[in-house]
Amino acid sequence: MRTESYTPGADVESGDQVMSEATNGTTTVSSEVVEKITVAAARAVPGVADLGGDVARFFNSVLDKVGLDEVGDASRGVSAKISNNNVTVNVVLVLEAGRVVAEVTGEVQRKVTEALTGYGLNVVAVNVNVDDITGV
């Protein structure tokens, strides 16, 4: 797991984790948590059929067939880079057929930004890559 840090008022960088120092100690948020928040927000957007590129979806279907349904789902299709309190996330998604790309990707960017800022993070960018379209 990667780690990086955030300190309100005195930002500190140490990998891929956000860490804040309070008067009574520190709080850290890993990039894995940022990725999970991003996945939940992106999946909630109408028009998003799935997350992850072709290879990730293939391996996930294999895992599903052998009874490991939940393995890899938590952050599939999302990566996060944290520098101090600044977060950049990359989202790879599959679009539902018939949807307007700009509308869905714009809503993904809005929802992800809203979700992450709700946790006190500064979102620098939400980069969305449409990897496939269902039903085509």
Q: Per the domain annotation, does 92 fall within a domain?
A: yes
Reading the block at residue 6, the tokens are 């955030």
**Which pLDDT belongs to residue 85?**
78
**Which pLDDT belongs to residue 84?**
78
**Domain span at residue 64?**
31-133
**Would you tell me how many other CB atoms lie within 10 Å of the CB of residue 117?**
12
Q: Per the domain annotation, does 17 fall within a domain?
A: no
Report the number of distinct structural domains present in the chain. 1
pLDDT means per 10 residues in the chain (136 residues)?
Answer: 37 52 72 92 95 55 48 67 89 95 97 95 95 84
**Would you tell me how many other CB atoms lie within 10 Å of the CB of residue 52?**
23
**Which pLDDT belongs to residue 11?**
41
**Which pLDDT belongs to residue 128?**
97
Q: Per the domain annotation, does 12 fall within a domain?
A: no
**For residue 66, what is the domain's CATH number?**
3.30.70.1350
Q: Identify the CA nearest to 110 among candidates 18, 28, 48, 31.
A: 48
